[in-house]
Amino acid sequence: MVKSSLRIAVLECDEPIGRTKEKYGGYGNLFKELLENGAKRVAEQDDDVELGLDVTKYDVVKHEVYPDLDNIDAVLLTGSRYNSYDNDPWILKLVEFTKKVLAQQRVLLIGVCFGHQIVGRAMGVKVALSDRGWEVSVTPVQLTAKGKDLFKVEELAIHQMHRDIVYEFPEGVESLGHSPRCDVQGMYIKHRLVTVQGHPEFTGDIVAELLDSRHERGIFDDAMYEDGMKRVRKPHDGIAVGAAFIRFLLERYRSA
């Protein structure tokens, strides 16, 4: 029996808009729900797991507060509307903190969308605007053998909302998958880190609200908006990714 209580610090790199903010407050609560649902799936699939989660949230944009690594087991970096390659003071501070996490061996690292890109930047690879355009709504990701093993699906359907990408894999990183518009859809190092470019925490309602907002502001033209809305309610594997995050966190206990 694997018994564990995981202390996970969620670094909130942005805040939701509109109805999503009213429902969840902050992105930390969205990820708490994702991780809890992922833990339930892992427990359903494996009777040998007894797991508790202690999820804490840190606003790294407005308040620039960070956890003490001695008091946590993992750090999760959320998505954001901001550019991961910009040099705003809070972004530079986040990159330096991520390097600090990478420099030690105990605390594990999870990155999602912007967070995935920050991990790439902290590891020294190019992160920039994609020359292939936006990825939005539920999108199929072709998985590598490691991706299939980790996510427990043959092809990953996941919400996307990005135009920035990690251009290459850092040294020592395993690829988890790719799509036509993004070669680096996920990164993995056993007992160290896992990242995804997509948004496992998002739902159709959340993405529909983002599509509406960006269409109204002229960020998305009619064609992109309509294409995104056609796919926004498609089934997606968000909980499968949440379960993969939990399995990743448990790997160390299983091998101990």
* pTM of the predicted protein model: 0.96
Cα angle 79, 62, 202 (rounded to 5 degrees) comes to 25
44 or 9, which is more confident: 9
In this structure, is residue 9 part of a structural domain? Answer: yes
Mean pLDDT over each residue of the chain, to the nearest integer: 95
Indicate which CATH number applies to the domain containing 164.
Answer: 3.40.50.880
Residue 51: the pLDDT is 81
Supply the range of the domain harboring residue 112.
5-251
pLDDT of 147 > 70? The answer is: yes
Task: Read off the pLDDT of residues 72-100 as tens digits, 9 standing for 90 and up.
Answer: 999 999 999 999 999 999 999 999 999 99
Place of tokens 């030690």: 104
Domain count of the fold of the chain: 1
Q: Is residue 50 part of a domain?
A: yes
pLDDT tens across 200-241, in order? 999 999 999 999 999 999 999 999 999 999 999 999 999 999
Is residue 198, in this structure, part of any structural domain at all? yes
Q: Considering the domain boundaries, does residue 256 fall inside one?
A: no
Establish if 66 belongs to a structural domain: yes
pLDDT digit string, tens, across residues 9-34: 999 999 999 999 999 999 999 999 99
Residue 225 and residue 219: Cα distance in Å, rounded?
Answer: 9
Which residues partner with 195 through β-bridges?
A: 111, 187
Percentage above 70 pLDDT, the chain? 96
